[in-house]
Structure 1
Amino acid sequence: MSARAQTGRAVILGGQTGLVGRPLTQTLAAAGYAVLPTTRSQLDPFDADAVARALASFEATHLFNTVAYTAVDAAEDDRDEAYRVNGDLPGRLARVCRDAGTLLVHLSTDFVFDGTANRPYVEDDAVNPQSVYGASKLAGEQAIADSGLTDFQILRTAWLYGPGKKNFVATMLGLAKDREELRVVADQIGSPTYTVDLAGWMAELAGTAARGIFHAVGSGQASWCELAAAAVAAAGLPCRVTPIASAEYPQKAARPPYSVLDNRKLAAAIGRLPRPWDATVREYVYEQMQSSI
């Protein structure tokens, strides 16, 4: 079953401005959903009564939460806010959805893992976050599970890039235009993910009876250096991309050295494997180049 087989009425928290929320709003509308995208100023996601009223008045069948605290390094010094947004909010939303009979679709992260695996992580693998960001996102997963809501989908995703917002690929391209060399970490391996594709998987998954936790990332794996090099090559820029060790680019928050996610559960639910990450990088770069002409 796909989203074309079953659609509904969706409230999308962060749907007007978010890196995922904006393409998700467009994708759901194209799939036949009635959509109500919001910003925090329009609908305070922490106001449970206001969220409940919005779900009731819109007759929502789905609540998509794309609101998150994503500043990984800042979270180390801003623990309370990271936990408020990433840990407490999902539990509040889950309780609202439980009472309203609404499906909750929520995004989590590869940072719930410690990066010591020797194969792509599956959904049931042991979690062991190494940063405040990862721990706060795991707390959000657990809050949903503890809420009594059974009608939920949690999609763990990673290394996002896409139109409309700051992201790693866009940053690398901006730097590559003015530099002869980029030195990029090569000993962290993950799953680059195009937000337009992620929005499509979310829409399709939400139209199925599948519930629980899903890994939702681009197929394949790459280092940050390989991702940057692929983007620079797609843009036709002469900048060299040189691999470096994480120790040469110290960051406050610990990153998992290997956080590749296994997509097979998602693929079984939506009936297809996600596209390879390198194909989506080229698509994103070409579209960004066309939009700047």
Structure 2
Amino acid sequence: MPPEAIKAVPVRHYGRWVSAVGVLVLLGLLVQAFAGADIRWEVVGDHLTYDTVLRGAWETLWITLLSMLIGVVLGMLLAVMRLSSNPVLSSVAWGYIWFFRGTPVLVQLYLWFNLSLIFEVLNVGFYKDEMNQVITSFVAALLGLGLNEAAYMAEIGRAGILSVDPGQTEAAHALGMNSAKTTRRIVLPQAMRVIIPPTGNEFINMLKTSSLVSAISHEELFLASTNVSSRNLAVMEMLIVATVWYLILTTVFSIGQYYLERHYSKGSGRGLPPTPLQRIRAQLTSFRTRSQVGGERI
């Protein structure tokens, strides 16, 4: 006579339900506090598409893109220099990373913006002009954010390059490839799986860090919202407007980062991460399964 089939009963996790209820209560209190506060929500709605705010949002995006481009290109160059067998190149790269990682971004922005106090005139032979005409607030923002980001991207790139099996480089050299071609065609494409996730995080962080350029009077999203609030005296409302736009920008690029990670995960030993729709479908399926098991127990 065959043994009776075992009926698996899922363990009840009452602590999870208590925690969920507690979180919902706190969220409800937070929503109630904002709903009952003296906030003119119609001002928030009207200024989300206000010309000054839109220009500030575009300026934030533009500064972020250009600064990140500088950071990625220079960071990859520094990563290769750091791993070079040439002691001069590796020492220069180490010193660059040490300086820019060891000082705050705000201090670096002020240093670049006030560079004319040290060098009054920029003279490179074919071009000569006063330094305060060259280092505008926009140029200072790009230098401050881009050069600082390069130091972090150098370490991210170095970690990605070191993650590639050395045998790949040896095989490429055996086929007659030089070091530059091996790095460009063999090492970097494989290192992208390690480089892309933290690079996406750095880009999202750059979007928010760009608000620091308001300290050197460059009108990006935060300063644009602040300037509007100084005229209409809607301080909290304009801060909410800026918050909404930052959330919109970071959400859009977070989605892009997710699908970029999926693209570079192809061909790896692990499976591709599920898409948001696949996650929702899996959650619904799991909920139905638990409901059916609970019904059978009853």
Higher strand share: 1
Higher helix share: 2
Q: Which has the larger radius of gyration?
A: 2
Give the TM-score taking structure 2 as reference length.
Answer: 0.25
